[in-house]
Amino acid sequence: MEELRFRQIHLDFHTSEKIAGIGKDFRKEEFAEMLKNAHVDSITCFARGHHGMLYYRSARFPELIHPGLEGRTLLEDQIEACHKLGIRVPVYETVQWDYRISQEHPEWLCLNADGSIVDFCQAQPSPVYEPGFYRTLCVNTPYRDFLKAHLEDLFQVVGAENIDGIFLDITNIVDCSCRHCVEGMIKKGYHPDKKADRIRYAKEMREGFMTDMTDFIKRLKPDATIFYNSSHVGPQLADIRKAYTHWELESLPSGGWGYSHFANSVRYARTTGMDYLAHTGKFHTSWGDFHSFKNKEALQYECFRMLAYNSKCLIGDQLNPDGKLEQAVYDLIGPVYGEVERKEPWCRRARVRTDLALYTSEDLHRETDCCLGGSVPLEVNGACTMLDELGIQFDVVDRRVDFNQYEVLVLPDTILCDEELTEKLKAYLAAGGKLIATGQSGLKMNGIEFALPELGVKYKGEAPYSPDFLMPNEKIGKELPKTEHVMYDKGIEVEVLGGEVLADVYVPYFNRTWEHFCSHKHTPSSHKKGYPGIVRKQNCIYFMHPIFTTYQEWHPRWCREFLKDALDLLLQRKYWRWRDRPQWSVPLITKRWKTEMLYICCIIFR
């Protein structure tokens, strides 16, 4: 399959059935020319949106064609005009949200354990009277048969040769207690009244759905690209990556994901061996924000950052009901995509090089977690932020990868070790690997004993004081004042077994309770040494505190300094930081873009 295109548009078209004159101002040559002039080389267009309306000349479901659609061939015309100019056109399909079908077939809806309808907004007192199409359909019902019939109709009417790919939106793991799911759980011997069993079944059912639908689509067109969107790419999706042809990282910084989400999730996605692209939007906020415009500088930053992580670019837009693209939007997008086009030769078939791996706690919860959209865990976000600020190149990994390709592996705060992970970590250390573990990381699944004697510590229990205080010294925390530094989150008390204490913990006079407290926040240090805070044994360093969670919540610089010195001790400063790098120059790059190109090239090709 060919490499994904670099300059894509996702053209939302969730358009109410109450609006008339749909597509009345659409002119296909004008539509395609505006895209071409804005340097767009791929655009996702709609067959069916969340309102449940169709935008092509359906033979099998004519009653679902938008009643206000003029000409009846909007999708076909979009594809024809774009293909003439070499623009690729994947086709959008909604899956779990369809307002019309949710009204006509309430028996196909997902149910909560209390019998209420699963609704994305969770509106109170009732989602019935809230605007939106967020009632969630269950793909374990006869609704799946409708989806297949609809897709078959789409490929026959539009022509399989004209459909470059399928983007299937809203494909989440849902805690569903509908009749079909309950019956399915009972057949498997699961207990529908237990949430863990419901989530386990929901995950298995979604995987079966994706495998089934991919096989079906491949029969309609073997070389179609296929992506199932659930707003986050992590280990849960990697479990079923055979159903996908590529990843799309939906991550609008102003739309709820935040600026850290893309950078931290792409570091995982790139370890899977799949091609990938990233979503942002032209919107000031999020999807559906009509007549809004992102600052050009923000759009430049977001797209250039995608290139820096070797991702292709996608910008979300929304077509007005009249079918006419907004010229101002493409005046905004065009210059940015023109710059992306000029940078593409630096990025094609590039491969990232990293020395450090950050193990994601998502790997431990992929059997039980159930979330709409998903997110990067708190401690992983904190670790990514800290490593970013230190200028360190790293991947976010799970147990699927070969640890031996990384010089250092970091286990952030909550990584409990089952037998499989323990053996893999032991083999990595035996081969000369280096390990940093923090907080609960390195403990067995029971949470009360360490799985890795290589860490040089024995579990004694939760730390008796919190907050307590780490004391810097000339080995670790070297650039910090040599006085107590508060650690806001409770750690684990350990006994040292054959290791070296790098930093001690000093304890407060007492814990803050209703019986004894001091000042507004917490009790100060008693200046008495309490227990080991940071321990080193050969190639392993253990922090008793969950420093990455603390960093995400409070951003104390001293946590970053302790980590920096720990890495120095393990690597003898082999890693590099941007501020330590000499100032290079590259010929034939204009002064305006020199810094940007250097940043991209150093990250991708270092």
Q: What is the mean pLDDT of residues 434-451?
A: 97
Residues 501 and 545 in one domain: yes
Residues 88 and 72 in one domain: yes
Length of the chain: 606
Query: Residue 592 has what pLDDT?
Result: 35
CA angle at 511 for the pair 508 and 516, rounded to the nearest 5°: 110
* 123 confidence band (pLDDT: 50, 70, 90): low
Mean pLDDT of the chain: 91
Q: What is the mean pLDDT of residues 145-153?
A: 98
- Residue 40 domain-assigned (yes or no): yes
Domain count of the chain? 2
Q: What is the mean pLDDT of residues 238-250?
A: 95
Q: What is the mean pLDDT of residues 571-576?
A: 63
Q: What is the mean pLDDT of residues 46-58?
A: 97
Answer whether residue 372 shows pLDDT above 80.
no
Residues 426 and 564 in one domain: yes
Query: Residue 366 has what pLDDT?
Result: 55
Query: Residue 374 has what pLDDT?
Result: 53
Cβ(323)–Cβ(13) below 8 Å? no
Residues 344 and 449 in one domain: no
Query: What values do phi and psi take at 352, rounded to 5?
Result: -75, 150
Answer whether residue 156 shows pLDDT above 60.
yes
Residues 396 and 345 in one domain: no
Q: Which of 330, 351, 372 is the last residue of a domain?
A: 351
Query: What H or E segment, with its residue span, contains residue 156?
Result: helix 143-158
Residues 430 and 566 in one domain: yes
* 239 confidence band (pLDDT: 50, 70, 90): confident
Q: Which of 327, 351, 375 is the last residue of a domain?
A: 351
Cα separation of 267 and 269, whole Å?
6
Residues 547 and 503 in one domain: yes
Cα separation of 306 and 488, whole Å?
34
- Residue 169 domain-assigned (yes or no): no
CATH of the domain at 58: 3.20.20.80
Cα separation of 242 and 220, whole Å?
17
Which pair of structure tokens corresponds to residue 284?
A: 């000031």
Q: Which strands, in side-by-side order, build the sheet including 500-508?
A: 394-397, 356-359, 408-411, 434-438, 540-543, 525-537, 500-508, 468-470, 485-487
Residue among 470, 414, 452, 450 nearest 538 (CA): 452
Q: How crowded is the C-beta side of 15, counted as CA atoms within 13 Å?
A: 26
CATH of the domain at 446: 3.40.50.880
Query: Residue 369 has what pLDDT?
Result: 46
Match 């190109």 to its residue by tokens: 597
pLDDT in tens, 180-237: 999 999 999 999 999 999 999 999 999 999 999 999 999 999 999 999 999 999 998 9
pLDDT-above-90 percentage for the chain: 85
Q: Which strands, in side-by-side order, build the sheet including 225-229?
A: 225-229, 165-169, 90-94, 42-48, 7-12, 312-318, 276-281, 247-250
Which amino acid type is present at position 114? D
Answer whether residue 571 shows pLDDT above 50.
yes
- Residue 189 domain-assigned (yes or no): no
Answer whether residue 526 shows pLDDT above 70.
yes
- Domain boundaries, position 345: 1-95+139-163+244-351
Residues 403 and 255 in one domain: no
Match 């061996």 to its residue by tokens: 273
- Residue 175 domain-assigned (yes or no): no
Cβ(536)–Cβ(476) below 8 Å? no
Cβ(431)–Cβ(465) below 8 Å? no
Cα separation of 174 and 477, whole Å?
46
Match 């064609």 to its residue by tokens: 65
- Residue 597 domain-assigned (yes or no): no
Residues 525 and 417 in one domain: yes
Residues 363 and 328 in one domain: no
**Can you say whether the dihedral through the CA atoms of 414, 420, 423, 424 is positive or negative?**
negative
- Residue 193 domain-assigned (yes or no): no
- Residue 447 domain-assigned (yes or no): yes
Q: What is the mean pLDDT of residues 450-476?
A: 97
Query: C-alpha distances in angstroms, 406 versus 264, 271, 403, 476?
Result: 18, 12, 6, 23
DSSP per position, 81-108 = HHHHTT-B-EEEEE-SB-HHHHHH-GGG
CA angle at 325 for the pair 323 and 331, rounded to the nearest 5°: 175
Read off the DSSP letter of residue 140: T
Q: What is the mean pLDDT of residues 559-564?
A: 98
Which pair of structure tokens corresponds to residue 520?
A: 């507004």
Provide the b/e sequence for 295-328 (b: ≥16 CB within 10 Å).
eeeebbbbbbbbbbbbbbbbbbbbbbbebbbbee
- Residue 234 domain-assigned (yes or no): no
Residues 403 and 366 in one domain: yes
Which pair of structure tokens corresponds to residue 546?
A: 């969950």
Residues 427 and 512 in one domain: yes
* 407 confidence band (pLDDT: 50, 70, 90): very high
